[in-house]
A and B are shown apart, each in its own frame.
Chain A
Amino acid sequence: MSTEKELAEMIGRIEADMSGFIAASVVDLESGMTLAAKSARNDFDLTVASAYNSELVKQKLKIMKALGLKTTLEDVLLTLGDQIHLIKLFPGGSTFLYLAAERASTNLAIVRNSVMRHVATLS
């Protein structure tokens, strides 16, 4: 398991790698608790967002199970009117990275590419 410091550094690298960064957290899927978090905006409640996104992931996993899909969930992309939200599950599936970015300043490809690259660096 990576330490909080390693996770925070990874989030920092993602932030530095892209424009339009709003917030990101590494979340324990089971509890919805954040293992590391960083927000560039005071009005973005990352603790709440992380918790509810863990529910979202759990629901998606339930859907997959209900459909009998024998595969893994890699990521979840959400496009809002002015934001992009990306959920990237870590190997093992018990933890995920949640990231929110300004849609006007970046695009889905940049966000996804950055997240994939940096998540892969974690042990």
Chain B
Amino acid sequence: MAVLDAEQNSIVLRIVYDGPPEAGKTTSLRALSASLARPMTTPAEIGERTLFFDWVEYTGGLFEGHQIRCQIVSVPGQAVLAHRRTSLLQTADAVVFVSDSSPSAVETTRSYLAEMRTALDEAGGPRVGVILQANKRDRPDAVDVSALQAAAPGTAVLESVATSGTGVRETFVFAVRLALDRVRELLRTRTLSFGAPDVQTSDQLLAQLQHLESERTAIASRQGLEDSTQASSAFREVIDEHHSARATSPGAATLRKAAESDAPHPPTAGVESGTIWPPVDGRIILQEACAQNFVPRRLQDGDWIGEVEGWKFHAPRQAIFTDPESGRRSLIDWARLHAAGQRWFSGPRVVVLAPSGPGTWRLWQIVKREESLRDVLVQAIEDNSPEGLLRRLLQAGRQLLTAIDSLAFAPCRLAITVDTVGVTNGGPLYIGYLPGPFLIRPGNPMSAENRTTLLRRELGALASSELRTHPKEAFPPLGSIIRRSDPPAVVEALRVLLRDSGLVDDSVAGTS
């Protein structure tokens, strides 16, 4: 990374703060930022969990008459973001490895150190100096420094309490010394780069990382690899932790009021990084789903939908933006909702902010197509006798009722119908679209009366015409097929349905 920028009369170094999650990398940088009186920036941070890096820039000191410009960067510690960690480590001129001093953390430290060394070895070039910053030395159970030294042979060990700033600046200055050693070696071997560095700001570093990831994802997609599912689960995990921040409506000014008459552009896999959730395998799903062309269709309520084999697309009418930043904020809110409701919602799901037309962006949700209760029943109607149809209706009623009760605890209110409920081995799941990010209302249990109404409506919509195609003599008495455990609401809904279909005598609608 070291670059001699003759025009600015400076040598640009990168000091990378590495280490396991929660060891104190960000806290160290925050303390350093305060000590050096330089701002710290953390792009795409979610709830204090670093997703890309923390960044502090500091100019101080001299090297052979050149000012020393330090890019101080911390890596994301989460194992699933290892690709970002590796990318950053491979640009280091010196590494400050921040470790937790608790006994239980020693093994993790050892493992992360090994990964770090692998990453540095792969980068090649003169040796990158590593300092082990033994952090959290104020812990009552802090292990002896010698134990950490044993875990990191050949590494300088400095103690710190990052929360109070103790030991942080000394460690940093020591790291600069190591980085300058490396620069000397680069000079000696005539491998030092000259000119303006490629990355001079945190924004540029973020763009560089995102570009790298886009390339990696594109390659993975081409090769049919799906090894990035972990990344999405980690992202969900991070988001889950901070689900308390519910979706909020953007300022009215950010919404385009003008009605769109032309169909919006559907999303593509080429959307910018940071505009897709989950960030890694979301793009892979887009690549698959968007390989099939479709023209969005406008519903009566103004929402846009589309369908290709295996996938459904939906863009709420309100989710259109004239500036991408507002769209990105809504994307995060919507992603939080998707992540928070994983146990109730079918998957996989993708949320993407895509260019919609000139100067506009639109939020889309992409949902894998799953078999709905309607699909199951249509199959039953085609295949089954009147008795089989009644049994299937009863079963659908039971599943619908279970869904009503279960989805009442979902993070938002959902439209429960035979089209939006699907059945898996684990029970009913919501397979429909989630409400738009500005239409989210909390879920709540349904009253008994509403449950019955819903059951009648949905079962009736499904089968009333089919029931009429059979003579009433073909149906067995309802009482002969219901079970003791069948919920009364379902039995009652079915009985009403039969009555409304003209199958009213006791031979069918009765319970005996």
- Cβ-closest chain B residue relative to A95: B173
**12 more CB-based (< 8 A) A-B contacts, given A3-B170, A4-B168:** A3-B166, A4-B165, A4-B167, A4-B170, A5-B166, A31-B63, A31-B173, A32-B62, A33-B68, A33-B172, A51-B61, A52-B62
Closest to A52 in B: B62
Q: Given the interface contacts A51-B60, A51-B61, A55-B62, does A31 sit within 8 Å of B68 by beta carbon? A: yes
**How many A-B residue pairs lie within 8 Å, measured between CB atoms?**
61
Q: Encode contact with B along A33-57: 1 for CB under 8 Å, 0 otherwise.
A: 1111000000000010011101100
Q: Specify which of A4, A33, A34 lies most central, judged by the most chain B CB atoms within 10 Å of its CB.
A: A33
In Å, the complex CA distance between A90 and B173 comes to 16
Given contacts A4-B165, A51-B67, contact A32 B61 (CB under 8 A): yes
Given contacts A28-B177, A31-B177, contact A51 B167 (CB under 8 A): no
Contact mask A41-82 → B, CB, 8 Å, 1/0?
Answer: 000000100111011000000000000000000000000000
Chain A: CB-nearest residue to B159 = A3
Query: What residues on B are CB-neighbors of A5 within 8 Å?
Result: 164-166
**A interface bracket (residues with beta carbon within 8 Å of B):** 10 to 19
Closest CB-CB distance, B161 to chain A, in whole Å?
A: 9
Contacts of A17 in B (CB 8 A): none
Could you name 20 residue pairs across A and B whose Cβ atoms are closer than 8 Å? Answer: A4-B35, A4-B167, A5-B164, A5-B165, A28-B173, A28-B176, A30-B180, A31-B61, A31-B63, A31-B177, A32-B60, A32-B63, A33-B173, A34-B173, A36-B169, A47-B60, A51-B60, A52-B62, A54-B61, A54-B62
**B166 to chain A: closest residue by CB:** A3
Which residues in A have their C-beta under 8 angstroms from that of B61?
28, 31-34, 50-51, 54
Interface majority SS (helix, strand, loop, mixed), chain B: mixed
- Rank and list the top 6 A-B pairs by shortest CB-CB distance, nearest first: A32-B61, A33-B61, A31-B61, A4-B169, A51-B62, A32-B62
**Cα distance A35–B67 in the bound complex, in angstroms:** 17
Say whether A120 faces chain B, with CB atoms less than 8 Å apart: no
Q: How far is the CB of B493 from chain A (nearest CB, A)?
A: 73
Contacts of B153 in A (CB 8 A): none
Task: Give the Cβ gap from A2 to chain B, nearest Cβ, in Å.
Answer: 8
Distance (whole angstroms) from the CB of A15 to the closest CB of chain B: 18
Residues 151 to 187 of chain B near chain A (Cβ within 8 Å): 158, 164-170, 172-173, 176-177, 180
Contacts of A32 in B (CB 8 A): 60-63, 68
**Is A31 in contact with B170, judged by CB distance below 8 angstroms?**
no
Query: Which bucket holds chain B's interface residue count?
Result: 20 to 34
Contact A55 B169 (CB under 8 A): no
**What residues on A are CB-neighbors of B453 within 8 Å?**
none
Does A109 reach chain B (CB closer than 8 Å)?
A: no
What are the residues of chain B within 8 A of A28 when measuring CB–CB? 61, 173, 176-177
- Are A1 and B62 in touch, CB under 8 angstroms? no
If A4-B35, A28-B177, A55-B65 touch, does A34 touch B60 (CB 8 Å cutoff)?
yes
Residues of B within 8 A of A30 (CB): 177, 180
Q: Which residue of A lies closest to B176 (CB)?
A: A31
Q: How many angstroms between the C-alpha atoms of A28 and B35 in the bound complex?
A: 15
Which chain B residue has the least Cβ–Cβ distance from A30?
Answer: B177
In angstroms, Cα B173 to Cα A28, docked, is 7
Assess whether B59 is interfacial by the CB under 8 Å rule.
yes
**Residues of A contacting B67 in the complex (Cβ-Cβ under 8 angstroms):** 51
B170: chain A residues at CB < 8 Å are 1, 3-4, 35
Query: CA separation between A47 and B170, bound complex, in Å?
Result: 16
Give residues 29-46 of B contacting A (CB, 8 Å).
35
Closest-CB distance, B366 to chain A (whole angstroms): 50
